[in-house]
Amino acid sequence: MARDQKVDRTEICILLDESDLLVTDEAHAGFPGRQSPLMRVLRQGREFGIMVALGINVL
Amino acid sequence: MSQSWRDQLIAQIDLCRPGPRDKGLLALRALAANGRLSEAMCRFHYLRLLLHPPRCADSLAGFTEPPSLEEWRSAVVTEAPIGVLTEVEGAEFGPHLSDRVEHWAVAGTTGFGKTVTLRGLALALDALGRALLVFELKRDCADFVQRLARCVRVRAGQGAWFGLQAPAGVADRDWAMVLAAILAARCGLKHATTSLARMLTWLVEQLNRAAVRGRLWPDVQLLCDVAVAAPSAKFAAKEDYERSSIQVLDGVAHALGPFARTFRGIDLEQFLAQGTSVVVDLSTLEPPAQWVVIDVLLS
């Protein structure tokens, strides 16, 4: 992402099981623009070929 | 697609209730009202609207049959199958890798199979040569080193060191702001961000006065020690902010423990760029420290 290298295929997958506490509203609240690093990767990562797979116990 | 499952779906369609495709629904209602289409057929067509919005959202042309098995199959085709869909006979289930990038949320109750699904996904991606970055919070990926084609596993505090150094191509000042925001946010002291960033920037300058290979970045304990020793209000506009910074740093340094006692940690990007998967075992850390590590590595 830092190199702004855009692709249209999956190159890297980030796997994060048990990620309930990282996807709550409170988890983003302290960051500028309420955007935690995980949220940023979820929003912008697709352009850079980054897939994210999260395991969540409760929606 | 099994007949019974399709029939169940169609039976659930309520033509009187507004849905996500209101324009199509209104047209179908009009056709049903003037007797040109039976209610059963309207249900079929509305299901099709819901399933194929790009092709059918604004047109009712060609609506003579419900979605065919082939249409279903084309919507779920995958080059990395990890299972089969029970709803669609013969349709495999898995990620789409070559033509798009997608995110997955595997949600369910305990015992639902979330971890098994994610493990299946990892093996399928590995078989297609994709690199994985796995954050292991519960020690359930210990066998990945043997099962994945190319994989390294780093374990917090056991031969792996977590450094705060900036990624290649990112300016020190920018990275200092990113780190400061993470540390402050994860400790719930947002107003400490600026003083932490100033402290980081100052320390990086001090550590790199002499020419060294690569840049050295302070560990959290050093940051904490400097914050305690620094004259009042050297880095923060208010004394309260200074105290907040010390509180943040002390908490994070304690939580990370020896794992973060380094001025330069492992560069995981090098592994991933070479197609080697990386499992980061954070099971020995407590949640706030786990989050800090995940945030820094994702940034």
> Could you report the per-residue pLDDT of B277-290, keeping only the tens digit for each?
888 888 888 877 88
Cβ pairs bridging A and B (under 8 Å): 138
The pLDDT confidence band at residue B1, using thresholds 50, 70 and 90, is very low
**Over 80: is that where the pLDDT of B68 sits?**
no
When pLDDT is averaged across residues B114-135 and rounded to a whole number, the result is 88
- Mean predicted lDDT score pLDDT of chain A: 82
Question: For position B198, what pLDDT does the model report?
Answer: 87
At B103 the pLDDT is 86
- pLDDT, position A2: 57
pLDDT for residue B71: 56
ipTM of the predicted structure? 0.89
Cβ contact A10–B287 (<8 Å): no
Which of B106, B188, B299 is the closest to A53 by Cβ? B106
Which residue in B has a C-alpha nearest to residue A52's C-alpha? B103
- What counts of helices (H) and strands (E) characterise chain A? 2, 2
pLDDT grade, residue A15 (50/70/90)? very high
pLDDT category, B147, cuts 50, 70, 90?
Answer: confident
What pLDDT is attached to residue B170?
A: 85
Report the pLDDT averaged over residues B206-214: 81
Q: Do A54 and B122 touch (CB under 8 A)?
A: no
Describe the crossing of helices B172-186 and B287-298 by its angle, rounded to 10 degrees: 150
Distance CA A37, CA B41 (A): 48
Higher pLDDT, B252 or B72: B252
pLDDT of B154 reads: 84
Residues whose CB falls within 8 Å of the CB of residue B16, separated by 6 or more in sequence, listed in order: none
Chain A interface, best mutation among B103, B144, B272, B281, by max A CB count within 10 A:
B103
Residue of chain A nearest B276, judged by CA positions: A12
H-type helices in B2-100, by residue range?
Answer: 3-12, 22-33, 39-51, 53-56, 69-76
Q: What is the mean pLDDT of chain B?
A: 76
Report the SS3 class of residue B217: coil
What is the arithmetic mean of pLDDT over B109-129?
Answer: 86
* Structure letter (DSSP) for residue B26: H
Least reliable range by pLDDT among A43-47, B30-34, B122-126: B30-34
Of B105, B132, B170, the CB nearest to A13: B132
Query: Does B7 score more than 70 pLDDT?
Result: no
Query: What are the tens digits of pLDDT across the range A49-58?
Result: 889 999 988 6
Backbone angles phi, psi at B296, to 5 degrees: -65, -45
Find the closest chain A residue to B194 by CA distance.
A32
* Residues B134 and B144: beta-carbon distance below 8 Å: yes
Rounded distance between C-alpha atoms, residue B220 and residue B237, angstroms: 21
pLDDT more than 70, % of chain B: 74
